[in-house]
Amino acid sequence: MSDATEQAAGQAAAQGKRPNRAHRREEILAAATRVFGSKGYHQGSLGDVAAQVGITHAGVLHHFGSKDKLLWAVLEYRDRVDVQHLEGKHIPGGMDLFRHLVTTARLNADRRGIVQAYAVLTGESVTDGHPASTWVAERFTVLRGEIAQAVRAVADERSVTLPEGEPERAAAAVIAVMDGLQLQWLLDPEAVDLASATGFAIESILTATLGGPVRITGA
């Protein structure tokens, strides 16, 4: 076999391995999401994750290096899933942001594992030394900022002048009700319609903030 042929064969083999490796990483992330969601970060082990995928503990480490790095990848995976249905794969602004939040709630009703992992990991993050603490705090900071900016945009469209700090208070309230509704839904999915309750809560907060009725759909 010539050098050129060997090189081509090597490149073809490498190209064939890459999709398999990416697929395996996705499998591990999905399994870790389930494990951390059901057992929490500290109680859920890499062995638990490996068993769900049919590989060894060392195999998980081969792909992610450590349990902490796997946790960070799970958190990033969760955020990626949240925007995968959006054009451009990023959160929109203005009223479209609130429509996106309701759509996310509707989609979450079919992906319990991701919602469960988010609820468990954000709850655990308030404990001393938890590896997700920084990520969760930064995520809430960014999310409050994005929602507050969307509130300002809607207020500008309606020529409403808001008191100092009002958009930030509304943003914190939106996050609080969404997370609280997710907890209620996880405990009793028959009692809570995640999408409609989320839409109702957001409309109520925006109506109180803007001083007039707000409808997310068709607004």
Instruction: With cut-offs at 50, 70 and 90, classify the pLDDT of residue 87.
Output: low
**When comparing pLDDT for 80 and 177, which is higher?**
177
Residue 13 confidence (pLDDT): 46
**When comparing pLDDT for 16 and 98, which is higher?**
98
3-state secondary structure 83-136: HCCCHHHCCCCHHHHHHHHHHHHHHHCCCHHHHHHHHHHHHHCCCCCCCCHHHH
pLDDT of 6 > 60? The answer is no
pLDDT of 80 > 90? The answer is no
The candidate with the shortest Cα–Cα distance to 124, out of 217, 15, 5, 39, is: 39
What's the predicted TM-score (pTM) here? 0.77
Give the span between the Cα atoms of 209 and 206, in whole angstroms: 5
143-177 pLDDT, tens per residue?
999 999 999 999 999 999 999 999 999 999 999 99
- Mean pLDDT over all residues of the chain? 86
Instruction: With cut-offs at 50, 70 and 90, classify the pLDDT of residue 90.
Output: low
Phi, psi of 213 (to 5 degrees): -60, 140
CA 6 from chain center: how many Å?
44
Q: DSSP assignment, residue 215?
A: -
Mean pLDDT, residues 80-84: 69
